[in-house]
Structure 1
Amino acid sequence: MKTHVRALVVGGGAVGNGIAYHLAKAGWDTMLLERDELTSGSTWHAAGLLPLFNMGYATTHIHKYSVDFYKTLEAETGLNAGFAVVGNLRMAQTDARMDEYMLYSSVAETADVYHEFLTPAQIKERWPLVRIEDLKGALFHPQDGYINPADVTQAMAKGARQHGAEIVRRAQVDSYQWTGSEWIVRGQMMVEKGGMLVASEEAFEIRAEHVVTATGNHAQRTARLLGLKIPAIPVEHQYIVTEPDPMLAAWRKAGNPEHPVLRDADAKWYVREERGGWILGPYERNAPARFLYDVPESFRADLFPLDLERIEEEYMSMIHRIPSSETVGLKDDFNGPICYTPDGNPLVGPAPGLRNMWLAEGFSFGITAAGGTGHYLAQLMTEGEAEIDMASLDPKRYGSWMTTEYAARKNEECYEHVFVLHHPDEEREACRPLRTAPVYDRQKALGAQFGQVNGWERPNYYGPLDAPSSFDHDARSFRRGAWWDYAKAEAEALRETAGLIDATAFTKHLLRGPGATAFLDRFTCNKLPAIGRINLTYALTATGTTRTEYTIVRLSENEYYLVSAGAWTAYDADYLKKSAEDFIASGGGYLDIHDVTTQWGVFALAGPNSRAILNELVRDAAPETVLSNKRFPWLTMRNIELGMCPVRAIRVAYTGELGWELHHPIEMSAYLWDQLQAAGAKHGMKLVGARAQNWLRQEKSYRAFGTELGRDATPLEAGLDRFVDLSKDFHGKQAMLDTGIRSKCVTLLIDGPADCDPWGKEALLHDGAKIGRLTSGGWSVAFGKQIGMGYVRPDLAVTGQKLKVRMMRQLWDAEVVEDSPFDPANARIRKDG
């Protein structure tokens, strides 16, 4: 047993072995520790399905890599992974489900995932045992199917050993200690006594440069050992195996091929053949979370009692869909723990607050994701970044506000929603409201319909207070939901009069100290602003791509107020603090950093009448000049008084209109809101939600982090040259220059369908070939047509270039327009008064 390795993987399920394989293949000296036997966690009782279907860009790539990779394992290792490439048929009972599949089709096209659409008649022709009279159609992936979880895990383990990795079983980790340069991992070898695993007297100590935890159901124990919060908690998942079906046996005996994995998404189950019978796996309501704090020592490769009453509805719907299954008995049943996270995505990436500690936890589709996770996580660790942006899976997307109770309830909800329609505008209700601004109740009384970002309740739009009973605020759609007309009216009002937006969820940091200026100058790519001014800038990764977007306000010589995206508070804080620690350790001057997000409320007031509204409230010796261009130019900050509220006002507007962000003590939010409401009523001000704001910022070509901006594109590729100062040295500069321009961010106006807007998932084509993808989309009130932003081949990033965008499986005309097609000269933003 080695005592020094470069990478130590803790956890011997499919995910852990996938990571060990790829790290070893990349040339790293790797060891894997498993507390029991390989596959003894959720891997052993997994059904082994390999669905390519996923609405996320990064996760789609991960699943596709796994499916392709598993097909190569036997040639490399000599072990058959048990991959039955029977295909995957996702049936649809409703038009809305078909709309979901058509939106997914765009995601799949951007990731080169082959798929087909089938009519009910085509389903019946291929698989006569399936009832089709109540189906609208189906999505078919012919390249995937199912695999034997134990076999594929053992094949990856053998491959890892062939590449030099050492795999040690019956080794339980009990502590992690960071020395400043490496991890010391200590534990005990385990022995079996009376059917239980107990610690022996044999201890071990391993020093590792990097550690990866892939501990599955034991994630809460891992969290305690590392002093972290990890919202990965298992939920019960049960499936049943039937006795042989005579009609299925006759079908196969006649020489017909095995059925694909069948998914009746609207009935919330999957079914596949199993030794002449069927496996039914439902995703029912009320499946409970388990192991909220720890896995009992007595629980090894064990199961929970089956709860047949809980899955009766799904069982009966299987009989409806496959009538021949009605007469067959039940042969076996499984009810085991499968880990979930609140949003269903795994936690993959650097652990918050720790160096060289990597998490790979919370896999609800662990078999499907194991190979791809190993591939892309190994890229992150060995090369600095993956070829795809992994931010959507980063463990730091949940902050310190997250609790065990929150994770458990949201994970139960996520399990139940596996087959619920995944609308792009969906807002799930569990654990809400939780984080609310002081004006939440006022906004709700005014018709606000809320979305959640990083736990915060944020108005998406303001609906009618006197809505008829037929109006459904919760009506979601893959086309235009019930909210669309209200968002449109809000966007128009902000362009014509004024709009008030609650931006309290913005992430805010205060950075100060003797080393603050030198640090930020190195940390970000733009010139630092003068005192009292602001600048938009970017922190880069080591590979030169965009890590974080900041609005920097310079308060004094060495004091800065940093504003970044509200969804990424912990993500930004971790990178900022670790970078500051490196700066200080290298001899830079002292600085300190404070997360002040919850100390400051933010209202964004914008529109042609915004100055007039604020003039009603300004308290100053010469109030009529406070907001003039002379005293308060664009891109500056001033401390002003609005009634009795002190305000750090920033003259900037994410909507591209004359406007200000009003940062204020959060305890005065209700007072300031009421004052703005009263003053705004005189000038036609309308309350505006996040959806209208998203449309408006696209009319100005304002890039957003998490869509246009991410770790797979440099600022130069994003078209942000004016915010990059190449005369100075900054982190990631040379890597950015060496990368060159692989693709280019553009804004497009689209002549699309009458009832649908792009969501930012669609493929872009030229002469029939895919040449890029949208990253954002919506409706432009200024141009009266659909708008989108995205990345295209550099030679096609030319104003006037004609392209096609695929929406609802049809191609629609799109044209590349100049950056900031609305008010390109910024005359409205700079307007004096």
Structure 2
Amino acid sequence: MTDLPTSAKAIVIGGGIVGCSTAYHLAKLGWRDTVLLERKKLTSGTTFHAAGLVGQLRSNANITQLLGYSVDLYNRIEAETGLGTGWKMNGGLRLACNAERWTEVKRQATTAHSFGLDMELLTPREAQELWPLMNADDVVGAAFMPTDGQANPSDITQALAKGARMAGATIFEDTKVIDVEIDKGRIRAVVTDRGRIECERVICCAGQWTRDFAARFGVNVPLVPMQHQYMVTEPFEGVPSDLPTLRDPDRLTYYKEEVGGLVMGGYEPNPIPWAVDGIPKGFHYTLLDSNFDHFEPMMELALGRVPALQTAGIKTLTNGPESFTPDGNFIIGEAPELRNFFVGAGFNAFGIAAGGGAGMALAEWVAKGEPPFDLWSADIRRFGRPHFDTDWVRTRTIEAYGKHYTMGWPHEEHASGRPCRKSPLYEILKSHGAVFGEKLGWERPNWFADTLGAQDDYSFGRQNWFDAVGREHAAAREAAVLIDQSSFAKFALKGPDALAALNWICANDVDRPVGALTYTQMLNDRGGIECDLTIGRVAEDEFYIVTGTGFATRDFNWISRTIPEGLNCQLFDITSASAVLSLMGPCARDILQGATRADVSNAGFPFGTLRTIGIAGCPVRALRVTYVGELGWELHLPVEYAATVYSALMQAGQGHGLANAGYRAIESLRLEKGYRAWGSDIGPDHTPHEAGLGWAVKLNKNIDFKGRAAAQAQQQDGVKKRLAGFTVDPQIVLLGRETIYRDGQRVGWLSSGGYGYTVEKSIGFGYVRNPDGVTAEFVTSGAYELDVASQRVPCQVHLAPLYDPKMQRIKV
């Protein structure tokens, strides 16, 4: 047995497809002293029993791009290594068997076209011609992706392992990692049962073992193992070797051809978690006992689609544990708790489809300090406090597994593990008819119903909350609303070098007087927007930072790790200390003045400032700022005062039309005003100049900051994409990802969509792209259409806000 090296540049833990892909790509990047350690044999964890379907389309453009990279890699890896992979680009077929599913499939086809993928819509007869084994009596339509395919998981992993060795990486099987040595927060070595290897970077791709292993070093990886079964038949007549993969979501099942027979599996609504008390010691190359009773409902659904299964011989019913996550997406990236500890795990039974691209992205992240593109929807930093509790993670993951093939409704909320984190006003708002959504465990009012106990009624059309949100929207525009935004993430940065740190990290100038608010982005070296937040200066050496609920972990991690070395300041997460009430609308000043003796006139309390005022015995940190386009304040106050202050404001609002409002009204209001949302309209792949936020970048000041060079170059050279607004007929529902056509040419897709009740139009935002450059004149000179569920509809383009409260007129 070959001796272990004494040192390595990077160590990959885990010899499944993701680990081998990561080692392969690191070696291709020139990291030839990469070492992969596998405690048993390659693929012996979960890879060897994967079904091997490779689909590409997801609702996120970059995740789709990552899966598309997998296909490109699988197309060439056999020729590169000489090892067979079982890869076949035989296409993928998806069925729709009712009107709502057909709408979903047509919207998926639009998304595919937005992202540059070829997805064809088929009639039932055309679908049956591609898949002659199926009964198509109930099929309404289908979609076909010609570049999807299937692979043999073990073979393709072995090919990646060989490619890694050919590029210089070293792979050691039967080598168990016992420990990771950490000194003062820095990784120093990996200790195995065969010796110690010095290194500074660890990439943990240990599948379902990742959560427990990473937790030993303070890293939280929210995944749990679930049982997943599929059946393999004996060969039978009528199964073509080039049969496409088939997904039949209305029957919860999937199929692929295998050696003249079929593989059939599915996602049951009542999944069974595995290893609740821990994975058994020594578990490898092991399957679970087949559970025929639990699989029987899947079989009955499949027989209705593929009658030939009634007489086909059953070779095996494979039951293998797979790692699943609370939101159904995989987990990738550098752990926020430990520098240079990277994770690639939780692939929700699509690890073969994602393996090639995930390994590429992880390798780039390790080698270059950032991913090749924005991977926020899979980023490990999307999780937060509830995800430290394995029972909560399991509860939510069971629901996510059961929804794998259910309808992907717009605005759908999870129901499990709730309520978890509650504002002090939760019960009060519930008594007023609040219908709550959830983000990072927080219960947040989405809308207010006329009757108690109301809930969302999902559809692809206007949903049951549409009129109620319209009333809240109108109250914000015409009177005032009160919104519980206690879930905002809130940080304090303190210390003698706090200003110097923030002025390096922030694109805007935060060197302003105590009491000033600054809206700013934080950029990466490419000029992309890593954070979008508000900063208030509360003392010479202290700043109050407010960002979105879902970005609590990510933004805290970005700020803390971007503080230049040697500066004396400390960052604290103080989210749970304060409740937040947002008072917004043209009557907001009158209402606030009725609840406080402080001067809240425009002269006494200008826009973009913060002050501490008194309301009902409570010291309130009031921020005059708005995300809805109206006069307003965010009122940040100690949680124990929340109910008292809420009551005082509601009393002061009597006679002024003050109403409760929720997050869906915020979304409608911000769309009309043209405010950007991080995670959809802006992110690491978008710059301030592309997003129309160049005014918030301090290029006219002699202050260096992270991303300045890229922002300056773009200011001089221009941009190749630019965010614009689009409006269409109010009967058309915009959700985001609709394709943008300019003069008949595809130029982008909508990053967000919704409805503007004041302008009475459906509104979307999206980037207009042109490799030769995009100017304001280029944007406004074109004739535009949107593809909505595979139908072209005319639209109007806008670069200015649709609503301006100062002018009291609509710009549509």
- The TM-score bracket by the shorter chain reads over 0.9
Counterpart of 2:517 (choices 534, 537, 550) is 534
Q: What residue is the counterpart of 1:800 in the other structure? A: 780
Q: What residue is the counterpart of 2:11 in the other structure? A: 8
> Is 1:823 the equivalent of 2:804?
yes
Q: What residue is the counterpart of 1:464 in the other structure? A: 450
C-alpha distance in structure 1 between counterparts of 2:410 and 2:359, whole Å: 28
Q: What residue is the counterpart of 1:562 in the other structure? A: 545
Q: What residue is the counterpart of 2:792 in the other structure? A: 811
> Is 1:751 the equivalent of 2:748?
no
Q: Which aligned pairs between 1:419-438 and structure 2 lie closer than 5 A?
A: 419-438=405-424
Kept in 1, the 8 Å contact 2:730–2:755? The answer is no
SS in 2 for 1:5: coil
C-alpha distance in structure 2 between counterparts of 1:104 and 1:753, whole Å: 21
Amino acid at match of 1:483: W
Q: What residue is the counterpart of 1:669 in the other structure? A: 642
Alpha-carbon deviation of 1:213?
0.7
Q: What residue is the counterpart of 1:613 in the other structure? A: 591
Q: Which aligned pairs between 1:92-171 and structure 2 lie closer than 5 A?
A: 92-171=96-175
Kept in 1, the 8 Å contact 2:482–2:583? The answer is yes
Kept in 2, the 8 Å contact 1:516–1:559? The answer is yes
Alpha-carbon deviation of 1:6?
1.7
Cα deviation digits, residues 110-140 of structure 1 (max 9, x gap):
3212111111121233433311121111111
TM (norm. structure 2) is: 0.94
Q: Which aligned pairs between 1:44-59 and structure 2 lie closer than 5 A?
A: 44-59=48-63
Counterpart of 1:712 (choices 685, 692, 696) is 685
C-alpha distance in structure 2 between counterparts of 1:419 and 1:451, whole Å: 22
Report which stretch shifted further, 300-309 or 426-435.
300-309
> Is 1:516 the equivalent of 2:498?
yes
Q: Which aligned pairs between 1:594-743 and structure 2 lie closer than 5 A?
A: 594-620=572-598, 626-726=599-699, 727=701, 728-738=703-713, 741-743=718-720
Q: What residue is the counterpart of 1:784 in the other structure? A: 760
Cα deviation digits, residues 2-42 of structure 1 (max 9, x gap):
22222211111000111111111111231111111000011
Alpha-carbon deviation of 1:615?
2.0
Kept in 1, the 8 Å contact 2:759–2:802? The answer is no
C-alpha distance in structure 1 between counterparts of 2:324 and 2:401, whole Å: 7
SS in 2 for 1:501: strand
Q: What residue is the counterpart of 1:507 in the other structure? A: 489
Q: CA separation of 1:797/1:311 partners in 2, compared to 1, >3 Å: closer, same or farther?
A: farther
Kept in 2, the 8 Å contact 1:176–1:183? The answer is yes
SS in 1 for 2:503: helix
Amino acid at match of 2:559: L
Amino acid at match of 1:55: S
Q: CA separation of 1:293/1:221 partners in 2, compared to 1, >3 Å: closer, same or farther?
A: farther
SS in 2 for 1:598: helix
Alpha-carbon deviation of 1:329?
3.6
> Is 1:766 the equivalent of 2:742?
yes
Kept in 1, the 8 Å contact 2:16–2:45? The answer is yes
SS in 2 for 1:681: coil
Q: Which runs of 5+ in 2 are unaligned?
A: none
Report which stretch shifted further, 629-638 or 3-12.
3-12
C-alpha distance in structure 1 between counterparts of 2:407 and 2:334, whole Å: 31
> Is 1:359 the equivalent of 2:343?
yes
Q: CA separation of 1:240/1:41 partners in 2, compared to 1, >3 Å: closer, same or farther?
A: same
Q: Which aligned pairs between 1:166-177 and structure 2 lie closer than 5 A?
A: 166-177=170-181
C-alpha distance in structure 2 between counterparts of 1:746 and 1:188, whole Å: 51
SS in 2 for 1:17: helix
C-alpha distance in structure 2 between counterparts of 1:39 and 1:734, whole Å: 45
Q: CA separation of 1:25/1:486 partners in 2, compared to 1, >3 Å: closer, same or farther?
A: same
C-alpha distance in structure 2 between counterparts of 1:742 and 1:276, whole Å: 53
Q: CA separation of 1:718/1:443 partners in 2, compared to 1, >3 Å: closer, same or farther?
A: same
C-alpha distance in structure 1 between counterparts of 2:721 and 2:478, whole Å: 32
> Is 1:415 the equivalent of 2:395?
no
Q: Which aligned pairs between 1:395-414 and structure 2 lie closer than 5 A?
A: 395-402=380-387, 403-414=389-400
SS in 1 for 2:150: coil
Amino acid at match of 1:773: W
Q: What residue is the counterpart of 2:228 in the other structure? A: 237
Q: Which runs of 5+ in 1 are unaligned?
A: 190-202, 621-625, 829-833
> Is 1:322 the equivalent of 2:301?
no
SS in 1 for 2:149: coil
Q: What residue is the counterpart of 2:246 in the other structure? A: 262
Amino acid at match of 1:714: T
Cα deviation digits, residues 705-758 of structure 1 (max 9, x gap):
11122111122222211110012101121234346654444332322461x422
Cα deviation digits, residues 251-298 of structure 1 (max 9, x gap):
35xxx5532212110111112223333221021122222234642223
**Percent identical:** 38
Amino acid at match of 1:757: V
Q: What residue is the counterpart of 1:288 in the other structure? A: 272
Q: CA separation of 1:753/1:140 partners in 2, compared to 1, >3 Å: closer, same or farther?
A: farther
Kept in 2, the 8 Å contact 1:89–1:260? The answer is yes
Q: CA separation of 1:817/1:41 partners in 2, compared to 1, >3 Å: closer, same or farther?
A: same
Amino acid at match of 2:402: E
Q: What residue is the counterpart of 2:479 in the other structure? A: 497
SS in 2 for 1:813: strand
Alpha-carbon deviation of 1:300?
1.1
Alpha-carbon deviation of 1:592?
1.9
SS in 1 for 2:309: helix
Alpha-carbon deviation of 1:382?
2.6
> Is 1:27 the equivalent of 2:27?
no
> Is 1:455 the equivalent of 2:458?
no
C-alpha distance in structure 2 between counterparts of 1:486 and 1:15, whole Å: 47
Alpha-carbon deviation of 1:606?
0.7
Report which stretch shifted further, 336-345 or 292-301.
292-301
Cα deviation digits, residues 177-236 of structure 1 (max 9, x gap):
2346963333334xxxxxxxxxxxxx3111223211101011123223322221111111
Cα deviation digits, residues 476-523 of structure 1 (max 9, x gap):
122322122222221122111111111111110011111111111111
Kept in 2, the 8 Å contact 1:745–1:789? The answer is no
Q: What residue is the counterpart of 1:544 in the other structure? A: 527
> Is 1:374 the equivalent of 2:359?
yes
TM (norm. structure 1) is: 0.92
> Is 1:478 the equivalent of 2:460?
yes
Alpha-carbon deviation of 1:373?
0.7
C-alpha distance in structure 2 between counterparts of 1:25 and 1:292, whole Å: 39
C-alpha distance in structure 2 between counterparts of 1:259 and 1:809, whole Å: 26
Alpha-carbon deviation of 1:553?
0.5
C-alpha distance in structure 2 between counterparts of 1:557 and 1:188, whole Å: 50
SS in 1 for 2:199: strand
Alpha-carbon deviation of 1:826?
7.9
Q: What is the CA RMSD across the aligned residues, in angstroms? A: 2.0
Q: CA separation of 1:743/1:421 partners in 2, compared to 1, >3 Å: closer, same or farther?
A: farther
Amino acid at match of 1:795: V
Q: What residue is the counterpart of 2:319 in the other structure? A: 335
Q: What residue is the counterpart of 1:623 in the other structure? A: none
Q: CA separation of 1:290/1:3 partners in 2, compared to 1, >3 Å: closer, same or farther?
A: same
Q: Which aligned pairs between 1:173-192 and structure 2 lie closer than 5 A?
A: 173-179=177-183, 183-189=187-193
Q: CA separation of 1:751/1:188 partners in 2, compared to 1, >3 Å: closer, same or farther?
A: closer
SS in 2 for 1:337: strand
C-alpha distance in structure 2 between counterparts of 1:712 and 1:376, whole Å: 15
SS in 2 for 1:812: strand
